[in-house]
Chain A
Amino acid sequence: MQNAAKRKLLRQISIILISFVLVIVFNFVLPRILPGDPIANLIGIDREFISQERYEYYRHALGLDRNIFVQFGLYLKSLFNGTLGFSYQYNSNVSSLIGSRLLNTLQITIPAFIISSILSLSIGLFFAYRRNKVEDIAGTSLTIGLNAFPSFLIGIILLVVFAFILNWFPINGLSSRNPSSPFFDRIWHLILPVLTIVIATTPSKVLQVRNSAVSVMDDKYVLFSRSNGYGYHTVAYKYIFANSFQPYLTIVGLNFAASFSGTIVVEKIFSINGMGSLMMKAITDLDYPTIQGVLFVTGSILLLSILVVDVLCYFFDPRVRRNDYV
């Protein structure tokens, strides 16, 4: 049985590796499917006069005057040499662009991810434990309602109420000009963007945790633990969560991966230069190297996260090791 589970895990790893190769290929193909001329965007699609000389120069620089296989080879070379390509929109290596933006993104998304994960677990388990009681009915209804709010609306409401009307928080960027205490100033700037993401992403996870936990609430070991007089935390975390954590772990893994791709809405509202706005602009500008580079980074992290989740499930869930799930 355990050998079967091991083989299954190895098969998962193989699938991930094959997916990685497919990601590399699709990242090359996808920008080229987008409609429009990347060179016209580069030299100014709105310009009234387009010079043929400049057009040919950039066509050659981007490798678009060569056959598709040569272009693919150049793309692979840029992945292996670590530059991830050269963006003529920014006149910079894509790796430098990503490096300068990734830290801004992670400052918002990682705290939001941690807070949201902890909150959703504790609230979801609480609702499940108090299933069909007042707390569950009221709380779940509120969660469903909150889940319907789009993130841009949450961000704008927070900005207008807390930054503009009450003047408790800043409106723009990640820090003030010449802050006297840079660390606390940074925290002050991060509160509203982080809160926006937490409010936007927690409700769906709460519902997921609650529903997964409810599905095991009637199992005998839960009844046994309660009849033994164990307290809420022991029952909820040691028995219920331990037997229903797989979906939660999967969502957390996916959320973690999504942290690296940024959130375009929050970055736009709070004027933060992150990965989301970089990708959005790259798509608008048809900046092939930047699209390819960002997709490669975020795709790789996503696959890695999926792999880590599978490995964690294998090690932490004995049912997986016993191959109870066929």
Chain B
Amino acid sequence: MNKKFLLPLLLPLLLTGCQKAQKKELVVGALTTIEKATRDEYNYDVLTASVTQLPMIGQNAEDGTFYSQLCDYEVASTKQVKFTVRENMKWSDGEYVTANDIKHTFDYMDKRGSNYFVDAETEKGTTAKLFESASISEDQRSITINLVNDNVRILSSLLDLRIQPEHIYKNYMEQDSGEPSAELSRVGCGPFTFSSFDKASNTLTFKKSKTYPFKKGEQTPISKLSYVLYANEDAMMMDLIKGQIDYTWIYSSGISADSQKVAAKDGQNVQFHHINKRGVSASIVFNCDKAPFNDKSFRVAVAHAIDYASARDTFASPYASVPNRSFVPSSTVGYKETEQLHKDETYLSSFASQNGYTDKNAQGFYVKGDEVLQFDLTVDSTKTAHVRYADFVKTSLEKAGIKVNLDPQTTADFRTKTTNKFSHDAGLEGPTHQACILGFTEAGMNMMQGMGSIYINKNHAVQGVAQVNDATFLNAINAMGSASSLEAYETACHSLQDYYAENIPVAALFWDANVTPYNNRLSNMKSDANWGLNSFINWFNISIK
């Protein structure tokens, strides 16, 4: 047969074979419960961020750079930012995505208490709006937003805002106007669309979107994305080791250190992806407005009586590290290196001798006459990890000579004892704890001025756990909030971290990483700062054998 006829005949067969080879299913184990698989359900909404629903931009967890998801972005100045919907972006019902959808989303969230274009009212007062005005371009693809104040971190504050379709949600603007139907709520602009939810097999399935503008250089090898939902981490890890799932996903967290050890030992096909956390899983927060921790030297003494290496080895992953005196993790934008925390009982013995605790009793605690050197450590008893941390701190400090009285509380009572809002709601003047065990989420670390200041600032409407109110601290966070350039912001951040290191309102027990185990048929995994491996950046970079 003539070769020039053979190739056209063979070509379709070759192409079919290539396409079939590219149809790949990714199966993710998720530690979550989902009831209805609709957007008004929090767990489903979080899981589908970057799957079916896109934020405007994302942030690469490895280097902190921002990247386009729904929109390209342009930061004209610290008071103006422009978002342009990328070409041919469509909703899964066929409608084009426009800048009107972005404006609508801001307005929708404002109706629910956000402060984008309107002031948000709280019991403590008003939280001022972020945006002064917005204008939409003639082609309706761009929105230019003018900020009320200079804000160098505006992009960070928009990472988790998923844009929703105005043509569907415009009828549901008010809080009491209900929710769209399940089918309508699943309309999104992401690279995948909802396919099915089988509650019996705990499987949520998405397929590659027909309306997403995939193009050369922006392709995903995933034709079907399935989530298997688990109620416990052990079962999820067993299925990963058996090869039933490709990797695990726990929102804003990795797997526990215990699971890592098991997977490393038993999982021949398992590898690990890790990203340094921007939150602090475990810390002891001192109430700096109340005895005994209104005394800086006692805070420093207690902070240096804890065995941090042991804490890291006991509780954290193999990628964890001993923290510094400033509790802000090293992966945070604006980070400054401060002295590493270490166990040094000379601080404690010096404090004890200066304050009259010259003897030790039969239990080994410092005493001043009949008075034992001690404090109460409040802990949320519903969080088993925190209870373990509290017990560790107690053991560590009592070996050094300080008596620690554990004060376990239910979540509600813990909040009443440690936060501004809940203590005020209970009719108290403020938090009443002496010290407490607390974890700082990544979102919380990033809120308002950042660097975890909301947990430290006595004046924060909701948190304020450390009750710090002195001028140096307030000047630093004010400078961060009003910074007119990234350099000015980072300079202010360094001042704040110097304050933290000098005064130790918080002592982190360890800095850890989010560790995700994955099947070794996967490679080139990329992590988003907000969504981890369950993210846009991963769908378009991952390789599957």
Q: Which residues of A contact B (CB under 8 A)?
A: 35-37, 40, 45-46, 48-54, 57, 61, 90-92, 97, 100, 104, 156, 159-160, 163-164, 167, 171-177, 186, 267-273, 277, 281, 284
Please tell me which one of the listed residues B112, B201, B202, B231 contacts residue A54 in the complex, with CB atoms under 8 A apart.
Answer: B112
Question: Does B198 have its Cβ within 8 Å of any Cβ on chain A?
Answer: yes
Write out the residue numbers on chain B whose beta carbons fall within 8 Å of the beta carbon of A92.
35-36
Write out the residue numbers on chain B whose beta carbons fall within 8 Å of the beta carbon of A40.
412, 415, 422
* Complex interface: stretch among B117-125, B340-348, B361-369: B117-125
Question: Does B200 have its Cβ within 8 Å of any Cβ on chain A?
Answer: yes
Write out the residue numbers on chain B whose beta carbons fall within 8 Å of the beta carbon of A272.
231
Task: Name B109's closest neighbour in chain A (CB-CB).
Answer: A51
Instruction: Assess whether A50 is in contact with B421, with CB atoms less than 8 Å apart.
Output: yes
Q: Contacts A45-B411, A91-B179, A92-B36; is A173 near B244 (CB within 8 Å)? A: no
25 A–B contacts, CB within 8 A, in A order: A40-B422, A45-B412, A46-B441, A48-B447, A48-B463, A49-B461, A50-B421, A51-B114, A52-B121, A53-B113, A53-B175, A57-B176, A91-B38, A91-B41, A163-B238, A167-B242, A171-B238, A172-B236, A173-B200, A177-B198, A177-B228, A271-B229, A273-B202, A277-B33, A284-B382
Question: Does B462 have its Cβ within 8 Å of any Cβ on chain A?
Answer: yes
Please tell me which one of the listed residues A53, A61, A269 contacts residue B232 in the complex, with CB atoms under 8 A apart.
Answer: A269
Instruction: Assess whether A171 is in contact with B244, with CB atoms less than 8 Å apart.
Output: yes
Task: Name A281's closest neighbour in chain B (CB-CB).
Answer: B33
Q: How far, in angstroms, from A156 to B120 measured CA to CA in the complex?
A: 49
Instruction: Assess whether A271 is in contact with B230, with CB atoms less than 8 Å apart.
Output: yes
| Beyond A46-B441, A49-B462, A172-B228, 14 additional pairs, beta carbon < 8 A | A40-B422, A48-B463, A57-B176, A100-B35, A104-B200, A160-B238, A173-B200, A173-B201, A175-B198, A268-B232, A269-B232, A271-B231, A273-B202, A284-B382
Write out the residue numbers on chain A whose beta carbons fall within 8 Å of the beta carbon of B23.
none
Task: Name B123's closest neighbour in chain A (CB-CB).
Answer: A52
Write out the residue numbers on chain B whose beta carbons fall within 8 Å of the beta carbon of A167.
242
Question: Does B199 have its Cβ within 8 Å of any Cβ on chain A?
Answer: yes
Write out the residue numbers on chain B whose beta carbons fall within 8 Å of the beta carbon of A270.
231, 235
CB distance from A174 to the nearest CB of B (A): 4
Instruction: Assess whether B40 is in contact with A177, with CB atoms less than 8 Å apart.
Output: no
Task: Name A88's closest neighbour in chain B (CB-CB).
Answer: B40
Q: Contacts A51-B122, A177-B203, A273-B199; is A90 near B454 (CB within 8 Å)? A: no
CB distance from B188 to the nearest CB of A (A): 18
Write out the residue numbers on chain B whose beta carbons fall within 8 Å of the beta carbon of A175.
198, 200-201
Instruction: Assess whether B443 is in contact with A48, with CB atoms less than 8 Å apart.
Output: yes
Q: Which of B375-425 contact A (CB under 8 A)?
A: 382, 410-413, 415, 421-422, 425
CB distance from B428 to the nearest CB of A (A): 15
Question: Does B490 have its Cβ within 8 Å of any Cβ on chain A?
Answer: no
Instruction: Assess whether A48 is in contact with B454, with CB atoms less than 8 Å apart.
Output: yes
Instruction: Assess whether A271 is in contact with B232, with CB atoms less than 8 Å apart.
Output: yes
Write out the residue numbers on chain B whose beta carbons fall within 8 Å of the beta carbon of A160.
238
Q: How far, in angstroms, from A54 to B120 measured CA to CA in the complex?
A: 11
Q: How far, in angstroms, from A281 to B113 measured CA to CA in the complex?
A: 26
Instruction: Assess whether A174 is in contact with B415, with CB atoms less than 8 Å apart.
Output: no
Write out the residue numbers on chain B whose beta carbons fall within 8 Å of the beta carbon of A57.
175-176
Q: How far, in angstroms, from A268 to B232 measured CA to CA in the complex?
A: 6
Instruction: Assess whether A48 is in contact with B200, with CB atoms less than 8 Å apart.
Output: no
Question: Does B59 have its Cβ within 8 Å of any Cβ on chain A?
Answer: no
CB distance from A42 to the nearest CB of B (A): 10
Write out the residue numbers on chain B whose beta carbons fall within 8 Å of the beta carbon of A48.
441, 443-444, 447, 454, 462-463
Instruction: Assess whether A159 is in contact with B33, with CB atoms less than 8 Å apart.
Output: no
Q: Which of B199-255 contact A (CB under 8 A)?
A: 199-203, 226, 228-232, 234-236, 238-239, 241-242, 244
Instruction: Assess whether B201 is in contact with A176, with CB atoms less than 8 Å apart.
Output: yes
Q: How far, in angstroms, from A92 to B41 measured CA to CA in the complex?
A: 10
CB distance from B493 to the nearest CB of A (A): 19
Q: How far, in angstroms, from A8 to B230 measured CA to CA in the complex?
A: 50
Q: How far, in angstroms, from A126 to B36 measured CA to CA in the complex?
A: 49
Write out the residue numbers on chain B whose beta carbons fall within 8 Å of the beta carbon of A90.
35-36, 41
Interface string of B11-55 (1 = CB under 8 A from A): 000000000000000000000010110101100000000000000
Please tell me which one of the listed residues A45, A50, A51, A91 contacts residue B36 in the complex, with CB atoms under 8 A apart.
Answer: A91
CB distance from A160 to the nearest CB of B (A): 8
CB distance from B151 to the nearest CB of A (A): 16
Q: How far, in angstroms, from A245 to B421 measured CA to CA in the complex?
A: 59
Instruction: Assess whether A173 is in contact with B412, with CB atoms less than 8 Å apart.
Output: no
Write out the residue numbers on chain A whose beta carbons fall within 8 Å of the beta carbon of B463.
48
Instruction: Assess whether A36 is in contact with B175, with CB atoms less than 8 Å apart.
Output: no
Q: Which of B103-132 contact A (CB under 8 A)?
A: 112-114, 120-123, 127
Closest 7 CB pairs of A and B: A51-B113, A36-B412, A271-B231, A175-B200, A173-B202, A174-B200, A54-B113
Q: Which of B415-469 contact A (CB under 8 A)?
A: 415, 421-422, 425, 441, 443-444, 447, 454, 461-463
Q: How far, in angstroms, from A50 to B421 measured CA to CA in the complex?
A: 9
Q: How far, in angstroms, from A163 to B242 measured CA to CA in the complex?
A: 10
Most B Cβ at <10 Å: residue of A54, A267, A277: A54
Instruction: Assess whether B444 is in contact with A164, with CB atoms less than 8 Å apart.
Output: no
CB distance from B451 to the nearest CB of A (A): 13
Write out the residue numbers on chain B whose beta carbons fall within 8 Å of the beta carbon of A273.
33, 35, 199, 202
Q: Which of B35-82 contact A (CB under 8 A)?
A: 35-36, 38, 40-41
Instruction: Assess whether B235 is in contact with A159, with CB atoms less than 8 Å apart.
Output: yes
CB distance from A165 to the nearest CB of B (A): 10
Q: How far, in angstroms, from A173 to B127 measured CA to CA in the complex?
A: 45
CB distance from B222 to the nearest CB of A (A): 16
Q: How far, in angstroms, from A49 to B112 measured CA to CA in the complex?
A: 12
CB distance from B314 to the nearest CB of A (A): 23
CB distance from B450 to the nearest CB of A (A): 12
Instruction: Assess whether A164 is in contact with B242, with CB atoms less than 8 Å apart.
Output: yes
Q: How far, in angstroms, from A277 to B228 measured CA to CA in the complex?
A: 17
Write out the residue numbers on chain B whose beta carbons fall within 8 Å of the beta carbon of A45.
411-412, 415
CB distance from A189 to the nearest CB of B (A): 8
Write out the residue numbers on chain A whose beta carbons fall within 8 Å of the beta carbon of B120.
51-53
Write out the residue numbers on chain A whose beta carbons fall within 8 Å of the beta carbon of B421.
50
Q: How far, in angstroms, from A267 to B232 measured CA to CA in the complex?
A: 10
Q: Contacts A51-B113, A172-B239, A270-B235; is A100 near B202 (CB within 8 Å)? A: no
Q: Which of B237-291 contact A (CB under 8 A)?
A: 238-239, 241-242, 244
Write out the residue numbers on chain A whose beta carbons fall within 8 Å of the beta carbon of B241.
164
